[in-house]
A and B are shown apart, each in its own frame.
Chain A
Amino acid sequence: DAGITQSPRYKITETGRQVTLMCHQTWSHSYMFWYRQDLGHGLRLIYYSAAADITDKGEVPDGYVVSRSKTENFPLTLESATRSQTSVYFCASSGHPYEQYFGPGTRLTVT
């Protein structure tokens, strides 16, 4: 039972390149979330999804795109990466009663 996984775990990319971070959960949870964590800060919500094909913005959505064609997958795409998007990205999922469970994180560096 893998739970929730993220890939890649580490990624280095250049400014202007497109990069996609993957998130997969095996619990059939309705809700999935993407957060970023920057040094000295808590986690900030980028986007969330209440179900397949339903997504909505969080606190810091600019520069990111999400999709959710299947319940178990919730990819996050940086269409044109910038240095300010260097961060650790966490994916989470929750079912009822909305208790979140987090993946291991992806450390992204934009050079």
Chain B
Amino acid sequence: GIQVEQSPPDLILQEGANSTLRCNFSDSVNNLQWFHQNPWGQLINLFYIPSGTKQNGRLSATTVATERYSLLYISSSQTTDSGVYFCAARNFNKFYFGSGTKLNVKP
């Protein structure tokens, strides 16, 4: 299977700050998803982004498949953004998750 690495592993922000989370993958992928796991454990879809750039409110994501990475941008962070952010890369029929970036946004 492929290796998926996320950085940074931990991130502390003051409310209102911006951040960039990175996801590197070791081989070609068919698609790439970003998820937010909230403090209650629920996994919430953020982006399905095999390539290109997408935006949804304060969040945006970019995947450069040829260079094997994806970035998640969070602007004007809020305390509700706290939790763990995962990327998942699909290779054939299997999805491989990174270990996540744990984000703590302080008021």
A: residues with CB less than 8 A from B are 31, 33, 35, 40-45, 48, 50, 56, 58-59, 88, 90, 97-102, 104-105
Assembled-state Cα–Cα distance A87/B43 (Å): 16
**Chain A contact surface mostly:** strand
Contact: A104 with B42, CB < 8 Å?
yes
**Chain B contact surface mostly:** strand
Please report the total number of B residues contacting A with Cβ < 8 Å.
Answer: 22
Assembled-state Cα–Cα distance A59/B35 (Å): 20
- Contact residue among A35, A88, A90, A99 (Cβ-Cβ distance under 8 Å from B48): A99
A-B CB pair tally, cutoff 8 Å: 51
Assembled-state Cα–Cα distance A56/B93 (Å): 10
Contact: A42 with B86, CB < 8 Å?
yes
CB-nearest residue of chain B to A88: B41
- Contact residue among A40, A41, A90, A99 (Cβ-Cβ distance under 8 Å from B43): A90
Give the chain B neighbours of A102 by CB distance below 8 A.
Answer: 35, 42-43, 45
Chain B stretch 61-92: residues in CB contact (< 8 A) with chain A: 86, 88, 90
Assembled-state Cα–Cα distance A50/B94 (Å): 10
Give the chain A neighbours of B45 by CB distance below 8 A.
Answer: 99-102
